[in-house]
Chain A
Amino acid sequence: MAARHGKCERRQRPPLRWQGVLALALAAGSASTPFAAVPASHPFRVTVSLNMPAEVQAQCGTITEPGSGRKITVSCATPSAPREPPRYLLHVYRAGEWIPVEGEMGTGTLTSWRIVHVADREYLELLVGW
């Protein structure tokens, strides 16, 4: 038994010259490991999807006041859902005041207007282009 123990010890123990190297390596390792800060990095993506807002249409228009040449803003509003047939509110400037005339007319430009006297009655004649 004693002989076998002795044989085992000789087999497990590294040569003296290697013991020195091993001891040095362990000493160096134990000195550096506790203080080492090891970073681990990983990329990731920031994705952005940009959408345009719901389209908002505003009907804005200007009209030239007859005779003056000045531009006057007459309306600017978000239209409601179109109906068939579309209905519009037409504002007509006459004798210093705006007269609303509602009818089934398309949006256009009032190019000229005049009052026509026929048989003691006045008729408003509008020329609108669109």
Chain B
Amino acid sequence: MNKVAKAVALASILGAATLANAGTVGPQNFNVTVNLTSSCSLTAAPTDVAFTYTSFGGAATATPSNFTVKCTNLRPYTLALDATSGTVIGLNYTIALSSAAATGTGVDQAFQITGNMVAGQSGNCAGASCTGTDVRTLTITY
């Protein structure tokens, strides 16, 4: 062998020895952890519950309030009103939610707040017509 051939042969032997010493490490498991914080939000705030009533008239049904909620998929939540009845300009009304509880789907879910007034109420009004407003609160708990 000439000098070059000897050098190549030596390098091959050294390389083989190095590989034999390195070996392999077996499969190693590792965890991928995800910490998901559930969330709910009102994607469309509730619109007004609007009554139109004639003094001493028949029962009135309000134009319902519509709103949408988006919650984390599978997350249960509840809906509640701060009060289900009230009085505005001397007229008693009741309001109700279309649903008191639901489970999140990850997309918008639509709900309604309906309102009613019984017949035969007078109301307080010095003029030919009057308007009044009450503020109620919708609470979503999740």
Residues of A within 8 A of B (CB): 2, 26, 29-30, 33, 37-53
Residues of B within 8 A of A (CB): 22, 35, 37, 40-42, 45-57, 62, 65, 67, 86, 88-89, 91, 93, 95, 113, 115, 123-125, 127-142
A39: contacting residue among B65, B86, B140, CB under 8 A: B140
The answer on a CB contact under 8 Å between B129 and A49 is yes
The answer on a CB contact under 8 Å between B139 and A47 is no
Chain A residues with Cβ under 8 A from B124's Cβ? 50
Nearest chain A CB to B92 CB, angstrom units: 10
The answer on a CB contact under 8 Å between B54 and A52 is yes
Task: Show 23 A/B contacts (Cβ-Cβ < 8 Å), sorted by A.
Answer: A38-B141, A39-B139, A39-B141, A40-B41, A40-B42, A42-B42, A44-B45, A44-B136, A45-B48, A46-B49, A46-B51, A46-B115, A46-B136, A47-B132, A48-B53, A48-B133, A49-B52, A49-B130, A50-B54, A51-B54, A51-B55, A51-B128, A52-B125
The answer on a CB contact under 8 Å between B125 and A50 is yes
CB-nearest residue of chain A to B113:
A44
Report Cα–Cα, A43/B57, bound state, in Å. Answer: 29
The answer on a CB contact under 8 Å between A50 and B139 is no
Nearest chain A CB to B34 CB, angstrom units: 12
The answer on a CB contact under 8 Å between A30 and B115 is no
Chain B residues with Cβ under 8 A from A26's Cβ? 35
Chain B residues with Cβ under 8 A from A51's Cβ? 52-55, 128-129
Given A49-B52, A53-B55, A53-B57: 17 more A-B contacts, CB < 8 Å: A33-B35, A37-B141, A40-B140, A44-B49, A44-B138, A45-B49, A46-B51, A46-B95, A46-B133, A46-B135, A48-B131, A49-B129, A51-B53, A51-B129, A52-B54, A52-B55, A52-B128
